[in-house]
Protein backbone atom coordinates (compact mmCIF):
# COMPACT_ATOMS: atom_id res chain seq x y z
CA UNK A 1 0.00 0.00 0.00
CA UNK A 2 1.18 3.55 -0.83
CA UNK A 3 1.30 5.51 2.39
CA UNK A 4 2.42 8.87 1.06
CA UNK A 5 0.93 11.05 -1.68
CA UNK A 6 3.55 12.63 -3.94
CA UNK A 7 1.21 14.98 -5.81
CA UNK A 8 -2.43 15.83 -6.36
CA UNK A 9 -2.10 14.78 -10.00
CA UNK A 10 0.62 12.94 -11.91
CA UNK A 11 0.88 13.76 -15.62
CA UNK A 12 2.86 11.22 -17.63
CA UNK A 13 4.45 12.76 -20.72
CA UNK A 14 5.55 16.36 -21.28
CA UNK A 15 4.44 16.72 -24.87
CA UNK A 16 1.96 19.48 -25.82
CA UNK A 17 -0.99 17.68 -24.17
CA UNK A 18 0.79 16.82 -20.94
CA UNK A 19 2.30 20.27 -20.55
CA UNK A 20 -1.03 21.97 -21.31
CA UNK A 21 -2.74 19.82 -18.67
CA UNK A 22 0.03 20.42 -16.13
CA UNK A 23 -0.09 24.15 -16.77
CA UNK A 24 -3.84 24.36 -16.22
CA UNK A 25 -3.73 22.16 -13.10
CA UNK A 26 -0.90 24.15 -11.56
CA UNK A 27 -2.64 27.44 -12.31
CA UNK A 28 -5.63 26.11 -10.37
CA UNK A 29 -3.44 25.54 -7.32
CA UNK A 30 -2.99 21.78 -7.52
CA UNK A 31 0.33 20.08 -6.87
CA UNK A 32 1.28 18.58 -10.24
CA UNK A 33 4.11 16.18 -10.99
CA UNK A 34 4.95 16.14 -14.71
CA UNK A 35 7.05 13.11 -15.66
CA UNK A 36 8.96 12.97 -18.96
CA UNK A 37 11.02 9.98 -20.11
CA UNK A 38 13.55 12.02 -22.11
CA UNK A 39 15.37 15.30 -21.53
CA UNK A 40 14.81 18.56 -23.37
CA UNK A 41 15.29 19.59 -26.08
CA UNK A 42 14.16 16.44 -27.86
CA UNK A 43 12.97 15.69 -31.37
CA UNK A 44 9.51 14.44 -32.30
CA UNK A 45 8.15 13.35 -35.67
CA UNK A 46 5.66 16.02 -36.67
CA UNK A 47 4.82 18.47 -39.42
CA UNK A 48 5.52 21.31 -36.95
CA UNK A 49 2.52 23.20 -38.36
CA UNK A 50 -0.01 24.79 -36.04
CA UNK A 51 -3.45 25.75 -37.34
CA UNK A 52 -5.39 28.68 -35.87
CA UNK A 53 -7.10 26.14 -33.61
CA UNK A 54 -3.77 25.30 -31.99
CA UNK A 55 -2.78 28.96 -31.91
CA UNK A 56 -5.91 29.79 -29.92
CA UNK A 57 -4.88 27.40 -27.14
CA UNK A 58 -1.35 28.82 -27.06
CA UNK A 59 -2.77 32.34 -26.74
CA UNK A 60 -5.18 31.19 -24.03
CA UNK A 61 -2.20 29.72 -22.15
CA UNK A 62 -0.34 33.01 -22.34
CA UNK A 63 2.33 31.82 -24.78
CA UNK A 64 4.09 34.55 -26.76
CA UNK A 65 3.53 33.53 -30.41
CA UNK A 66 5.65 36.29 -31.93
CA UNK A 67 8.56 35.90 -34.31
CA UNK A 68 10.81 37.23 -31.56
CA UNK A 69 9.87 34.13 -29.54
CA UNK A 70 10.81 31.76 -32.35
CA UNK A 71 7.50 31.30 -34.18
CA UNK A 72 6.95 31.82 -37.91
CA UNK A 73 3.44 32.84 -38.92
CA UNK A 74 1.50 31.61 -41.92
CA UNK A 75 -1.61 33.11 -43.44
CA UNK A 76 -3.35 30.04 -44.81
CA UNK A 77 -3.18 26.82 -46.79
CA UNK A 78 -1.91 26.32 -50.34
CA UNK A 79 -3.38 23.23 -52.00
CA UNK A 80 -1.91 21.50 -55.05
CA UNK A 81 -3.67 18.71 -56.92
CA UNK A 82 -5.50 17.87 -60.13
CA UNK A 83 -3.45 20.46 -61.99
CA UNK A 84 -4.77 23.20 -59.68
CA UNK A 85 -2.83 25.47 -57.31
CA UNK A 86 -5.16 27.16 -54.82
CA UNK A 87 -4.35 29.49 -51.91
CA UNK A 88 -6.91 29.65 -49.10
CA UNK A 89 -6.39 32.20 -46.30
CA UNK A 90 -7.31 31.06 -42.81
CA UNK A 91 -10.93 32.09 -42.16
CA UNK A 92 -11.68 35.28 -40.28
CA UNK A 93 -13.57 34.10 -37.19
CA UNK A 94 -14.53 35.50 -33.82
CA UNK A 95 -13.41 32.30 -32.07
CA UNK A 96 -9.94 31.77 -33.57
CA UNK A 97 -6.98 33.85 -34.75
CA UNK A 98 -6.58 34.37 -38.49
CA UNK A 99 -3.04 33.01 -38.61
CA UNK A 100 -1.22 29.73 -38.14
CA UNK A 101 2.29 29.05 -36.88
CA UNK A 102 5.26 26.78 -37.48
CA UNK A 103 7.63 25.80 -34.69
CA UNK A 104 9.87 22.69 -34.64
CA UNK A 105 8.96 20.19 -31.97
CA UNK A 106 12.64 20.13 -30.99
CA UNK A 107 12.09 23.21 -28.85
CA UNK A 108 8.30 23.69 -29.00
CA UNK A 109 7.70 20.96 -26.42
CA UNK A 110 10.49 22.39 -24.26
CA UNK A 111 8.82 25.81 -24.39
CA UNK A 112 5.49 24.39 -23.22
CA UNK A 113 7.08 22.31 -20.45
CA UNK A 114 8.90 25.39 -19.17
CA UNK A 115 5.62 27.29 -19.26
CA UNK A 116 4.02 24.60 -17.12
CA UNK A 117 6.93 24.84 -14.70
CA UNK A 118 6.50 28.61 -14.42
CA UNK A 119 2.86 28.00 -13.44
CA UNK A 120 4.03 25.73 -10.61
CA UNK A 121 4.15 22.22 -12.11
CA UNK A 122 7.11 20.07 -11.02
CA UNK A 123 8.81 18.75 -14.15
CA UNK A 124 10.97 15.67 -13.78
CA UNK A 125 12.80 14.48 -16.90
CA UNK A 126 14.65 11.20 -17.55
CA UNK A 127 11.76 9.46 -15.79
CA UNK A 128 10.50 6.52 -17.82
CA UNK A 129 7.11 5.46 -16.46
CA UNK A 130 6.85 1.70 -16.82
CA UNK A 131 3.31 1.13 -15.60
CA UNK A 132 0.49 2.12 -13.25
CA UNK A 133 0.29 1.32 -9.56
CA UNK A 134 -3.13 -0.18 -8.81
CA UNK A 135 -4.85 -0.63 -5.45
CA UNK A 136 -8.34 -2.08 -5.11
CA UNK A 137 -8.84 -1.80 -8.86
CA UNK A 138 -7.91 1.86 -9.04
CA UNK A 139 -4.82 3.65 -10.37
CA UNK A 140 -3.12 5.38 -7.44
CA UNK A 141 0.28 6.16 -8.95
CA UNK A 142 2.98 5.00 -11.34
CA UNK A 143 6.21 3.03 -11.31
CA UNK A 144 9.20 4.52 -13.13
CA UNK A 145 12.85 4.11 -13.95
CA UNK A 146 14.61 7.35 -13.07
CA UNK A 147 17.80 8.92 -14.37
CA UNK A 148 20.70 7.42 -16.30
CA UNK A 149 20.97 4.75 -13.60
CA UNK A 150 17.30 3.76 -14.18
CA UNK A 151 16.58 3.61 -10.48
CA UNK A 152 13.18 2.16 -9.64
CA UNK A 153 10.80 4.66 -8.10
CA UNK A 154 7.10 4.79 -7.28
CA UNK A 155 5.06 8.00 -7.34
CA UNK A 156 1.56 8.28 -5.91
CA UNK A 157 -1.42 10.55 -6.57
CA UNK A 158 -5.21 10.20 -6.49
CA UNK A 159 -5.33 10.88 -10.24
CA UNK A 160 -3.00 10.05 -13.15
CA UNK A 161 -3.25 11.70 -16.57
CA UNK A 162 -1.75 9.63 -19.38
CA UNK A 163 -0.14 11.85 -22.00
CA UNK A 164 2.24 9.10 -23.06
CA UNK A 165 1.50 9.31 -26.77
CA UNK A 166 0.72 6.64 -29.30
CA UNK A 167 2.41 3.95 -27.19
CA UNK A 168 -0.39 4.42 -24.62
CA UNK A 169 1.52 2.23 -22.18
CA UNK A 170 -0.62 3.13 -19.18
CA UNK A 171 -3.91 2.59 -21.00
CA UNK A 172 -2.81 -0.78 -22.36
CA UNK A 173 -1.68 -1.87 -18.90
CA UNK A 174 -5.21 -1.17 -17.69
CA UNK A 175 -6.82 -3.13 -20.52
CA UNK A 176 -7.90 -0.12 -22.60
CA UNK A 177 -7.16 -1.44 -26.07
CA UNK A 178 -7.00 0.23 -29.46
CA UNK A 179 -10.20 0.08 -31.50
CA UNK A 180 -9.64 -1.46 -34.92
CA UNK A 181 -12.75 0.20 -36.33
CA UNK A 182 -11.11 3.61 -36.06
CA UNK A 183 -8.62 5.07 -38.55
CA UNK A 184 -4.86 5.12 -38.11
CA UNK A 185 -2.31 7.06 -40.10
CA UNK A 186 1.42 7.01 -40.69
CA UNK A 187 3.42 10.22 -41.09
CA UNK A 188 7.03 10.56 -42.25
CA UNK A 189 9.02 13.76 -42.46
CA UNK A 190 12.47 15.21 -43.08
CA UNK A 191 14.07 18.64 -42.85
CA UNK A 192 15.84 20.19 -45.85
CA UNK A 193 17.87 23.36 -46.22
CA UNK A 194 15.72 25.24 -48.70
CA UNK A 195 15.02 28.71 -50.07
CA UNK A 196 11.37 27.95 -49.29
CA UNK A 197 12.04 28.13 -45.56
CA UNK A 198 10.14 31.42 -45.14
CA UNK A 199 6.98 30.50 -47.09
CA UNK A 200 4.01 32.23 -45.48
CA UNK A 201 1.55 29.47 -46.47
CA UNK A 202 1.28 25.88 -45.30
CA UNK A 203 1.40 23.77 -48.45
CA UNK A 204 -0.54 20.54 -49.03
CA UNK A 205 -0.10 18.17 -51.99
CA UNK A 206 -3.16 15.99 -52.56
CA UNK A 207 -1.82 13.54 -55.13
CA UNK A 208 0.44 10.89 -53.65
CA UNK A 209 0.78 7.80 -55.79
CA UNK A 210 2.07 4.25 -55.63
CA UNK A 211 4.84 3.22 -58.08
CA UNK A 212 2.02 1.87 -60.27
CA UNK A 213 0.38 5.29 -60.37
CA UNK A 214 -2.55 4.62 -58.03
CA UNK A 215 -3.72 7.46 -55.79
CA UNK A 216 -3.06 6.97 -52.09
CA UNK A 217 -5.38 8.18 -49.29
CA UNK A 218 -3.29 10.94 -47.81
CA UNK A 219 -1.37 14.11 -48.58
CA UNK A 220 2.10 15.57 -48.59
CA UNK A 221 3.18 18.80 -46.97
CA UNK A 222 5.85 21.48 -47.26
CA UNK A 223 6.04 23.79 -44.25
CA UNK A 224 8.61 26.57 -44.04
CA UNK A 225 10.28 26.55 -40.63
CA UNK A 226 11.88 29.99 -40.97
CA UNK A 227 15.36 28.91 -39.86
CA UNK A 228 16.70 28.07 -43.30
CA UNK A 229 14.87 24.74 -43.47
CA UNK A 230 11.56 23.33 -44.65
CA UNK A 231 9.69 20.47 -42.99
CA UNK A 232 8.69 18.12 -45.81
CA UNK A 233 6.54 15.09 -45.11
CA UNK A 234 3.55 12.98 -45.96
CA UNK A 235 0.74 11.14 -44.22
CA UNK A 236 -1.14 8.02 -45.37
CA UNK A 237 -4.32 6.49 -43.95
CA UNK A 238 -4.96 2.79 -43.26
CA UNK A 239 -8.00 2.57 -45.51
CA UNK A 240 -6.65 0.03 -47.98
CA UNK A 241 -4.04 -2.69 -48.53
CA UNK A 242 -1.50 -0.02 -49.44
CA UNK A 243 -1.23 0.64 -45.70
CA UNK A 244 0.81 -2.53 -45.24
CA UNK A 245 2.51 -2.55 -48.63
CA UNK A 246 3.67 1.06 -48.96
CA UNK A 247 7.35 1.79 -48.43
CA UNK A 248 6.91 5.27 -46.94
CA UNK A 249 10.53 6.27 -47.20
CA UNK A 250 10.62 5.25 -50.85
CA UNK A 251 7.37 7.16 -51.45
CA UNK A 252 8.88 10.22 -49.79
CA UNK A 253 12.02 10.04 -51.92
CA UNK A 254 10.05 9.59 -55.15
CA UNK A 255 7.79 12.50 -54.27
CA UNK A 256 10.55 14.96 -53.35
CA UNK A 257 12.63 13.98 -56.38
CA UNK A 258 9.78 15.18 -58.60
CA UNK A 259 9.98 18.71 -57.17
CA UNK A 260 12.00 21.58 -58.67
CA UNK A 261 15.74 21.18 -58.07
CA UNK A 262 16.12 24.73 -56.76
CA UNK A 263 13.89 23.82 -53.77
CA UNK A 264 16.79 21.62 -52.60
CA UNK A 265 14.74 18.69 -51.34
CA UNK A 266 17.62 16.32 -52.00
CA UNK A 267 20.24 14.32 -50.11
CA UNK A 268 22.82 17.07 -50.31
CA UNK A 269 20.59 19.50 -48.43
CA UNK A 270 18.84 17.06 -46.09
CA UNK A 271 19.17 17.55 -42.35
CA UNK A 272 18.84 14.22 -40.61
CA UNK A 273 17.06 11.09 -41.73
CA UNK A 274 13.47 10.42 -42.77
CA UNK A 275 11.59 9.62 -39.59
CA UNK A 276 8.09 8.24 -39.13
CA UNK A 277 5.36 7.92 -36.51
CA UNK A 278 1.83 6.55 -36.17
CA UNK A 279 -1.22 8.83 -35.94
CA UNK A 280 -4.04 7.42 -33.74
CA UNK A 281 -7.24 9.06 -34.96
CA UNK A 282 -10.92 9.53 -34.25
CA UNK A 283 -10.98 8.34 -30.61
CA UNK A 284 -9.38 4.98 -31.38
CA UNK A 285 -8.81 4.30 -27.68
CA UNK A 286 -11.67 4.49 -25.15
CA UNK A 287 -12.85 5.01 -22.46
CA UNK A 288 -10.99 8.25 -21.88
CA UNK A 289 -11.38 7.87 -18.12
CA UNK A 290 -11.30 4.70 -16.07
CA UNK A 291 -10.57 4.11 -12.38
CA UNK A 292 -8.25 7.01 -11.67
CA UNK A 293 -6.65 7.19 -15.16
CA UNK A 294 -7.40 9.92 -17.73
CA UNK A 295 -6.26 9.67 -21.35
CA UNK A 296 -5.41 12.77 -23.39
CA UNK A 297 -3.92 13.54 -26.79
CA UNK A 298 -2.49 10.66 -28.81
CA UNK A 299 -2.98 8.29 -25.88
CA UNK A 300 -6.71 8.96 -26.28
CA UNK A 301 -6.57 8.57 -30.07
CA UNK A 302 -7.52 12.22 -30.39
CA UNK A 303 -5.83 13.05 -33.71
CA UNK A 304 -8.21 14.75 -36.16
CA UNK A 305 -9.12 12.15 -38.86
CA UNK A 306 -9.80 14.90 -41.39
CA UNK A 307 -6.29 16.34 -41.50
CA UNK A 308 -3.98 14.41 -39.16
CA UNK A 309 -3.63 17.35 -36.77
CA UNK A 310 -2.68 16.23 -33.29
CA UNK A 311 -1.13 19.12 -31.37
CA UNK A 312 -4.31 21.21 -31.10
CA UNK A 313 -6.35 18.28 -29.82
CA UNK A 314 -3.63 17.16 -27.42
CA UNK A 315 -3.54 20.60 -25.82
CA UNK A 316 -7.31 20.99 -25.81
CA UNK A 317 -7.93 17.57 -24.30
CA UNK A 318 -5.22 18.25 -21.72
CA UNK A 319 -6.88 21.46 -20.65
CA UNK A 320 -10.31 19.79 -20.64
CA UNK A 321 -8.99 16.97 -18.45
CA UNK A 322 -7.48 19.52 -16.09
CA UNK A 323 -10.76 21.41 -15.83
CA UNK A 324 -12.62 18.24 -14.86
CA UNK A 325 -9.84 17.14 -12.49
CA UNK A 326 -9.86 20.43 -10.59
CA UNK A 327 -13.58 20.14 -9.94
CA UNK A 328 -13.36 16.47 -9.00
CA UNK A 329 -10.44 16.81 -6.61
CA UNK A 330 -12.21 19.65 -4.82
CA UNK A 331 -14.71 17.05 -3.57
CA UNK A 332 -14.18 14.20 -1.14
CA UNK A 333 -12.68 10.90 -2.19
CA UNK A 334 -15.29 8.32 -3.10
CA UNK A 335 -18.41 8.08 -5.27
CA UNK A 336 -18.88 11.86 -5.53
CA UNK A 337 -15.38 12.36 -6.94
CA UNK A 338 -15.81 9.43 -9.28
CA UNK A 339 -19.01 10.89 -10.71
CA UNK A 340 -17.21 14.18 -11.28
CA UNK A 341 -14.35 12.44 -13.12
CA UNK A 342 -16.80 10.65 -15.40
CA UNK A 343 -17.62 14.08 -16.80
CA UNK A 344 -14.37 13.96 -18.77
CA UNK A 345 -15.25 11.25 -21.33
CA UNK A 346 -18.70 12.81 -21.65
CA UNK A 347 -17.11 16.20 -22.34
CA UNK A 348 -14.73 14.68 -24.90
CA UNK A 349 -17.63 13.15 -26.80
CA UNK A 350 -19.66 16.34 -26.58
CA UNK A 351 -16.75 18.40 -27.88
CA UNK A 352 -15.38 16.15 -30.63
CA UNK A 353 -17.63 13.09 -30.98
CA UNK A 354 -19.89 14.22 -33.81
CA UNK A 355 -17.04 15.87 -35.69
CA UNK A 356 -14.86 12.76 -35.46
CA UNK A 357 -17.77 10.63 -36.69
CA UNK A 358 -17.88 12.81 -39.80
CA UNK A 359 -14.11 12.42 -40.02
CA UNK A 360 -14.39 8.65 -40.06
CA UNK A 361 -16.86 8.88 -42.95
CA UNK A 362 -14.43 11.17 -44.77
CA UNK A 363 -11.57 8.72 -44.23
CA UNK A 364 -13.68 5.88 -45.58
CA UNK A 365 -14.52 7.85 -48.72
CA UNK A 366 -11.01 8.98 -49.61
CA UNK A 367 -9.83 5.40 -49.25
CA UNK A 368 -11.36 4.88 -52.70
CA UNK A 369 -9.02 6.18 -55.44
CA UNK A 370 -11.95 7.10 -57.69
CA UNK A 371 -13.41 9.34 -54.98
CA UNK A 372 -10.04 11.05 -54.53
CA UNK A 373 -9.76 11.52 -58.28
CA UNK A 374 -13.21 13.06 -58.61
CA UNK A 375 -12.71 15.27 -55.53
CA UNK A 376 -9.43 16.73 -56.79
CA UNK A 377 -10.65 17.15 -60.38
CA UNK A 378 -14.01 18.77 -59.66
CA UNK A 379 -13.62 20.15 -56.15
CA UNK A 380 -10.35 22.10 -56.30
CA UNK A 381 -11.43 24.50 -59.09
CA UNK A 382 -14.37 25.71 -56.98
CA UNK A 383 -13.17 28.31 -54.42
CA UNK A 384 -16.39 28.39 -52.36
CA UNK A 385 -16.39 24.61 -52.01
CA UNK A 386 -12.72 24.67 -51.03
CA UNK A 387 -13.38 27.40 -48.46
CA UNK A 388 -16.02 25.10 -46.97
CA UNK A 389 -13.58 22.18 -47.11
CA UNK A 390 -10.84 24.16 -45.33
CA UNK A 391 -13.20 25.07 -42.51
CA UNK A 392 -14.41 21.48 -42.20
CA UNK A 393 -11.01 19.80 -42.37
CA UNK A 394 -9.34 22.24 -39.97
CA UNK A 395 -12.37 22.33 -37.62
CA UNK A 396 -12.54 26.11 -37.78
CA UNK A 397 -16.03 27.54 -37.33
CA UNK A 398 -17.70 30.00 -35.03
CA UNK A 399 -20.01 27.96 -32.76
CA UNK A 400 -22.55 30.79 -32.60
CA UNK A 401 -23.45 32.99 -35.50
CA UNK A 402 -20.82 32.79 -38.19
CA UNK A 403 -21.51 32.58 -41.89
CA UNK A 404 -23.62 30.09 -43.83
CA UNK A 405 -20.70 27.67 -44.14
CA UNK A 406 -20.26 27.66 -40.37
CA UNK A 407 -23.92 26.91 -39.85
CA UNK A 408 -23.84 24.01 -42.31
CA UNK A 409 -20.76 22.46 -40.68
CA UNK A 410 -22.04 23.01 -37.15
CA UNK A 411 -25.35 21.46 -38.14
CA UNK A 412 -23.66 18.38 -39.58
CA UNK A 413 -21.56 17.97 -36.45
CA UNK A 414 -24.62 18.33 -34.23
CA UNK A 415 -26.63 15.61 -35.96
CA UNK A 416 -23.73 13.16 -36.32
CA UNK A 417 -23.72 10.51 -33.57
CA UNK A 418 -20.90 10.86 -31.04
CA UNK A 419 -19.36 7.41 -30.68
Q: Into how many domains does the chain fold?
A: 3
- How many whole angstroms separate alpha carbon 281 and alpha carbon 274? 22
The pTM for the full model equals: 0.95
Q: Quote the pLDDT of residue 199.
A: 96
Residue-range definition of the domain harbouring residue 44: 9-48+104-180+282-357
Distance (Å, whole) CA 352 – CA 413: 9
Do 126 and 17 fall within a single domain?
A: yes
Does 335 reside within a domain?
A: yes
Domain contains 65: no
Q: Note whether residue 290 is domain-resident.
A: yes
At 128 the pLDDT is: 98
Is there a single domain that holds both residue 23 and residue 125? yes
pLDDT < 50 stretches in the chain: 1
With CA atoms as reference, report the closest residue to 196 among 223, 167, 172: 223
Same domain, 122 and 29: yes
Q: Domain ends where: 262, 280, 298? A: 280
Nearest to 159 by CA among 13, 14, 19, 5: 5
Bridging pattern class, strands 160-162 and 218-224: unpaired
Residue 72 located in a structural domain: no
In a domain, 98, yes or no: no
> DSSP secondary-structure letter at 285?
B
Residue at 322 is within a domain: yes
Indicate whether 127 and 211 sit together in one domain: no
In a domain, 267, yes or no: yes
CATH code for the domain in which residue 291 is found: 3.50.50.60
What is the full DSSP assignment across 11-38?
EE--SHHHHHHHHHHHHTT--EEEE-SS
Q: Are residues 297 and 350 in the same domain?
A: yes
pLDDT of 245 reads 72
Same domain, 199 and 321: no
Domain boundary among 311, 336, 357: 357
Q: Give the CATH number, domain containing residue 205.
A: 3.30.70
Residues 211 and 189 both lie in one domain: yes
Residue 115 lies in a domain: yes
Strand partners, 178: 285
**The domain boundary residue, chosen from 357, 388, 404:** 357
pLDDT score of 302 = 97
Is the domain of 190 the same as that of 272?
yes
Residue-level pLDDT at 244? 67
Does 240 share its domain with 379? no
Domain shared by 168 and 115, yes or no: yes
Q: 291 and 151 in one domain?
A: yes
**HEC per residue, 359-392:** HHHHHHHHCCHHHHHHHHHHHCCCHHHHHHHHHH
| Residues 124, 32 share a domain | yes
Amino acid sequence: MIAQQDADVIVVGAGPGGSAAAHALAQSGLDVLLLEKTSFPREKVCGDGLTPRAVKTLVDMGIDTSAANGFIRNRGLRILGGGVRLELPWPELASYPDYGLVRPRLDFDDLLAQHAQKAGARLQTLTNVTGPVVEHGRVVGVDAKVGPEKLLQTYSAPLVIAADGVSARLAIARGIQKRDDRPMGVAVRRYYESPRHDDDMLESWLELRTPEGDLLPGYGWVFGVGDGTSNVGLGILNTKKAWQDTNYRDLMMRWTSSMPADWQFDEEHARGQIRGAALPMGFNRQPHYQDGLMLIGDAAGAVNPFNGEGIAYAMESGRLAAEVAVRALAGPEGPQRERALQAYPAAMKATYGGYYTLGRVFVSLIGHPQVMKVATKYGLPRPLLMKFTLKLLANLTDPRGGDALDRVINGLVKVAPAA
